[in-house]
Amino acid sequence: MKTVFQLKAIAGFVVALLISTAASAQMGGKTIPSPRDSVSGKIGTATISINYGAPSLRGRKILGVMEPYDKLWRAGANQSTTFTTDRDIKVEGKTLPAGKYSLFAMPGEKEWKIVFNSQTGQWGIRNVPGGHVANEDPAKDVLVVTVKPASHEVTERLKYEINNKGFALVWEDVSIPVAIK
């Protein structure tokens, strides 16, 4: 009986080893170009979390070129960026109820629009003739605010930062601060 158990354990281990080897071989030793990342923190009594795909510049000009100005963007890569708050908050002076939202942005040279949309779980873009568009249903926009970009040291990988004044999207040579109370 003990021998049968040992043989089953060894067989299970071998199968697991083969599966993990095959899975890692498919990546070819490469890192994921836009890995998922997240940040969370307290602003007042609210706990805020942002989950996003974090693309890198890799020598490219992104804002205003690959992500054109005045066109809605998924504010990250791959699956839509999500923003979660466990309490009602004021975003740029406007009320956002507690909940989970998809976060979109519309970059501009002088100002950005930040969109909190109630639909979550969707892929970040949909393909249309001539390219792709952000996978956002405007009918489900809960809140849209306008903010001003600020200069920032060059940041290779997109990141979000949370502090006691709100959050910021930081990438390339800009920081997009969004005030929260």
pLDDT digits (tens, 9 = 90+) for 81-120: 999 999 999 999 999 999 999 999 999 999 999 999 999 9
pLDDT at position 5 is: 55
CA dihedral for 48, 52, 58, 59, sign (positive or negative): negative
Q: Which residues pair with 39 in a beta bridge?
A: 50
Integer Cα distance of 86 and 59 in angstroms: 38
Q: Is 100 buried (19+), middle (13-18) or exposed (0-12) by CB count in 10 A?
A: middle
For residue 55, what pLDDT band results from cuts at 50, 70 and 90? confident
Q: Is 27 buried (19+), middle (13-18) or exposed (0-12) by CB count in 10 A?
A: exposed
Integer Cα distance of 144 and 159 in angstroms: 21
Considering only residues 177 and 132, tell me which one the structure prediction assigns the higher pLDDT: 177
Q: What is the pTM of this model?
A: 0.78
Share of the chain above pLDDT 70, in %: 78
Is residue 169 scored above 80 in pLDDT?
yes
Q: Which residue in 79, 169, 62 sits closest to 124, CA to CA?
A: 79
pLDDT at position 33 is: 78
Residues 6+ apart with CB under 8 A from 180: 43, 46, 48, 89, 90, 91, 165, 166, 167
pLDDT digits (tens, 9 = 90+) for 15-53: 444 454 444 444 455 677 788 889 999 999 999 999 999
